[in-house]
Structure 1
Amino acid sequence: MDRTAQTITDGIYNLWFENGGWAQLSAEVFDRGPARIARAMTSSSPGFSPSAGDRASWSGIYFANPTHAGLSARDVAIDTVGGGAPAWLVEGKGDRSTWAIHIHGLGSPRAGTLRGVQIAADLGYTSLVISYRNDGGGPTAGSGRSSLGVTEVEDAEAAVHYAMQNGAQRIVLFGWSMGATIALQLVDRARYHGIVAGVVLESPVLDWVAVIKANCVRSGLPAATGILAIPWLALRPLSHMVGLPTTIPLRDLDWVERAAELTVPTLIIHGTRDDSAPIRVSQVLHDLRPDLVDLEVFTAGHTLSWNSDPERWRSTVTEWLSAHVNSDGR
């Protein structure tokens, strides 16, 4: 492969090929000269064999489906206002009272959360791996555009109801990137106090203004350019003109400003190389609420902490859940 900052990064990753198929890569990097490196394929999609010149996307989405992740799952549909939202149900072993709901981020498929589902399964939780409106798998609503978690939370709430109707007495929320925005809105709803027992957030979006500025910089624009986008999100009729189903209440989604309102034990995992959702926001939230928010820092990019060190990620989450959710012995 071409030598890039991504392809020489520590950890295990996946290549998703534009002509179909995927290939998992080993952690070891072999030097092939100043412009090339090689990594061994450890697994690939059935019947797939890449050829020289094939184009592929570098990805942290390591598992294509539950079976590939070693999980036994069945397809279910969550009833939402827009119709059935497909989900994977991974039934827990032993006590069925604790469920985990896994919420993926913007532009990522639900398969990306399977990295966390494995841990929930090992702990005996029943897992619900959800889709939501306009994510490419769930129902299409309006113009098909994302509302940055503001309306998507209604579909995640339907998943919480599904879990409660099927025996969940307490729920752990796993939120990846924008999935964290959705998860924290659920936690904020009084009717779930006492039901949501813990929150695990990977590369969370805790402040959309900071994220918009960071992504401007990543695109080669001044951070201040992001300020120009704010009225188009927060004001009518501007938000309507760009196809958003609603205005985006950015202040309501700023969890640094709302740090005092947090009520549920929260584990944040964040990478120092995250140029999409700045780690400094997570650090500030941790500093404001060290009584409730734990922060584990990895040398990794956005949503790539698991890939950079799977064993450490697994042990971190397992130990935290065991201490904060399973501490009563259940």
Structure 2
Amino acid sequence: MIGRIALGGGIATAATAGVGYAIARRLTAPVGPRTFDLTVRGVEHDDRGELIVLDRTEQTTAPGIYNLWFENGGWAQLSTEILDRGPSRVARRVTGTTSGFTPRASDCASWSGIYYATPADAGIHARYITIMTPAGRCPAWRIDGDPATWAIHIHGLGSTRAGALRGVLAAAELGYTSLVVSYRNTAEGPRVGTGRSTLGDTEKADVDEAIGYAVRRGAQRIVLFGWSMGAVVALQIANHPRHAGLIAALVLDSPVLNWTEVIKANCTGSGLPATVAHLAIPWLTVGPLARTVGLPGRISLHSFDWTARTEELTTPTLILHGTRDDSVPIQLSQALRDSRPDIVELETFDAGHTLCWNTDPDRWQEAVTAWLRARIPH
């Protein structure tokens, strides 16, 4: 999940009786195409290279490093440098592009925190593998390292494996073997039923098969990296008795710890009262209503509420969360840290949802590697 969990402006005009249904439908909607809502206003050149001129927005003026994904298939990585181009525009310096790709004025693009498209873009050698899951064949990247210590990287709702490559850099520095996995009803995973997300409920079965893959190949300890909804999956897996003694640590970026509160935050961001979020809950948690939405059955949202299950946590957990996250409230992570300081640590960043790494990649990397070095035997 990159950016806000989009509930869509159409919900605001839905009839009151159907607003809960509309929210549930939008939240679990099958993955759609990327939206290319930025227009390149100009391309400049100086003795240091190329700059792209964009409209001035909260995104385009955000500190950090980002990527522009273009409608015509290319991408351009942008540096931290931001130059004024009048009251309504800024220029961002290009530090890398798809091989042979040249951005042009009037191109349409999409702003993203997904900085690397492939492991090779991050300077990492990976094998392309397939993991057989209950949903079918799920593609994954495998980056070889220590055969005894593995990291499994789980992306969020609406994202792709590429979004988790930011965490692979930390695991690679530590020498771990990494699996960057996909799961059902994503852009890369197999389609099941109506293609709707179950918010981490059925998806965990696919990621659990990656655990088995690692164990069969010598894994003695596993670190789970979970991004946004990927944290829902990671926490469920770590809490399963079958994996006692195997899951050594959790690294969670912008984790969803309570879906009801997350739905409230996204309702507010979409111009709706937070209270209407409660109208969506029955459509997700009551079997007949959930099937009307297009889900295979009810989602056990209460079992994902780690703000209420804090005493059940047994795995050392590092949380990285942005103070400007308006999609998954940082207060949830703060509450979990405050209730379990013995097992949970929290690093905060001046960043939006899943953009902590982008805001300060060096600090993110150092925080993760230092924390894991202190907990995982070498």
| 2:353 counterpart of 1:319 | no
**CA offsets per residue over residues 63-108 of structure 1, 9 Å max, x none?**
000000110001111111122110000001xx32000000000000
| 2:61 counterpart of 1:8 | yes
Residue of structure 2 aligned with 1:277, choices 328, 332, 335: 328
Which runs of structure 1 show a deviation greater than 2 angstroms over 4 or more consecutive aligned residues?
none
Amino acid in structure 2 at the alignment position of 1:40: R
Q: Give me the whole-angstrom Cα distance separating, in 2, the residues matched to 1:159 and 1:323.
A: 25
* Cα distance, 1:20 vs structure 2: 1.4
| 2:70 counterpart of 1:17 | yes
Local SS of the residue matching 2:301 = coil
Amino acid in structure 1 at the alignment position of 2:240: R
| 8 A contact 2:288–2:297 mirrored in 1 | no
* Cα distance, 1:138 vs structure 2: 1.0
Aligned to 1:80: 133
Local SS of the residue matching 1:99 = strand
Tell me the TM-score normalized by structure 1.
Answer: 0.97
| Structure 1: runs of 5+ lacking an equivalent | none
Aligned to 2:9: none
Aligned to 1:220: 271
* Cα distance, 1:19 vs structure 2: 2.1
Amino acid in structure 2 at the alignment position of 1:102: H
Residue of structure 1 aligned with 2:167, choices 87, 110, 116: 116
Aligned to 2:108: 55
**CA offsets per residue over residues 119-142 of structure 1, 9 Å max, x none?**
101111000000000011111111
Higher strand share: 2
| Structure 2: runs of 5+ lacking an equivalent | 1-53
Amino acid in structure 2 at the alignment position of 1:319: A
Amino acid in structure 1 at the alignment position of 2:199: L
Q: Give me the whole-angstrom Cα distance separating, in 2, the residues matched to 1:236 and 1:84.
A: 28
Amino acid in structure 2 at the alignment position of 1:169: Q
Give the % identical residues.
61
| 8 A contact 2:129–2:140 mirrored in 1 | yes
Q: Give me the whole-angstrom Cα distance separating, in 2, the residues matched to 1:242 and 1:18.
A: 31
Q: Give me the whole-angstrom Cα distance separating, in 2, the residues matched to 1:127 and 1:214.
A: 33
Aligned to 2:157: 106
Q: Give me the whole-angstrom Cα distance separating, in 1, the residues matched to 2:168 and 2:291.
A: 37
> Larger deviation: 49-58 or 149-158?
49-58
Local SS of the residue matching 2:167 = helix
Matches within 5 A, 1:1-330: 1-92=54-145, 95-326=146-377, 330=378
Q: Give me the whole-angstrom Cα distance separating, in 2, the residues matched to 1:213 and 1:57.
A: 26
Local SS of the residue matching 1:241 = helix
Tell me the TM-score normalized by structure 2.
Answer: 0.85
Q: Give me the whole-angstrom Cα distance separating, in 2, the residues matched to 1:220 and 1:57.
A: 23
Local SS of the residue matching 1:147 = coil
Q: Give me the whole-angstrom Cα distance separating, in 1, the residues matched to 2:83 and 2:363.
A: 24
